[in-house]
Amino acid sequence: MKITFLGTSGGAPTSLRGLSAVAVERGSEIIMFDCGEGTQRQMSKAGLNLNKIEKILISHVHGDHILGVPGILQTLSLLNRERELLIYGAEGIIEFVKAVRRTVWFNPTFPIFVEHVKEGLVCKEKDYSIHTSLTDHVLPGFGYALAEHVRPGKFNPKRARELGVPEGSLWSELQRGENVTLSNGKIIMSKEIVGSSRPGRKIVYTGDTRPSQSIVQLGKNADLLIHDSNYDEDNIEMAEKKGHSTASQAAQIAVEANVKKLVLTHFSPRYETTDLMLKHARAIFQNTIVAEDLLSIEIPFQKNDSG
């Protein structure tokens, strides 16, 4: 799983930072968190295939989080895409996409499915699920957690052969945790050949939010927390008024949620440098980094005793 930050500025772009967008590459698909203006150009610069986007998850309908959607819809049509595109978002996203289709001339070559999300499960795929929690912004918004399902334990083919299990369907059954019976009547227990189950990976994206206990719960034990850090402590009152967090507040959320790594993003254009933000955050949560446009992070699998 690779995370690429396509836009890390809040409100307006700067010469170094585009507007909010994060691409998650997982297998053959790309899942987008927000889609600010200029997202498709940033994807091109990052070497990401636009046609691999399967889902776009919009945190809220402020323009700096959604104005890249029309361009992506048009370009995918120019590419003659046929697969459905799924767009999930806070209240207003359905009306926004309808307005784009009504007022911007293009002929979609693919189905576009748009849905307002509620707290809880957004979608469940074969090996991962996406959940939401409400954020605390100036208008309704949601944070998202992409959590992989628990993976089966590691299969030991050498041990399977030693126990006389013929390669084929019985191996698959054992891998799924099922016990099997051989032709001679001998019962082979899955745990004799398959190690302990292995945890999947979990990443959480907050969108714009004040410090929120709902985000703490959503982010519990995440491998990566991507948190709004629009202001430093010099503007903590402004952060509260505008519905954002400071770097230190984001770090405190990371501590409470027991995450492994924190990435600060969505910086106000007023800041020419994020050095002080990073310093303040690391004083609270050491494993913190600052997102820069086109930064990519690989999220490795967690290991247990069986590998």
Catalytically active residues, by annotation: 64
SS (H, E, C) the chain: CEEEEEECECCCCCCCCCECEEEEEECCEEEEEEECCCHHHHHHHHCCCHHHEEEEEECCCCHHHHCCHHHHHHHHHHCCCCCCEEEEECCCHHHHHHHHHHHCCCCCCCCEEEEECCCEEEEECCCEEEEEEECCCCCCCEEEEEEECCECCCECHHHHHHCCCCCCHHHHHHHCCCCEECCCCCEECHHHCECCCECCCEEEECCCCCCCHHHHHHCCCCCEEEEECCECHHHHHHHHHHCCCEHHHHHHHHHHHCCCCEEEECECCCCCCCHHHHHHHHCCCCCEEECCCCCEEECCCCCCCCC
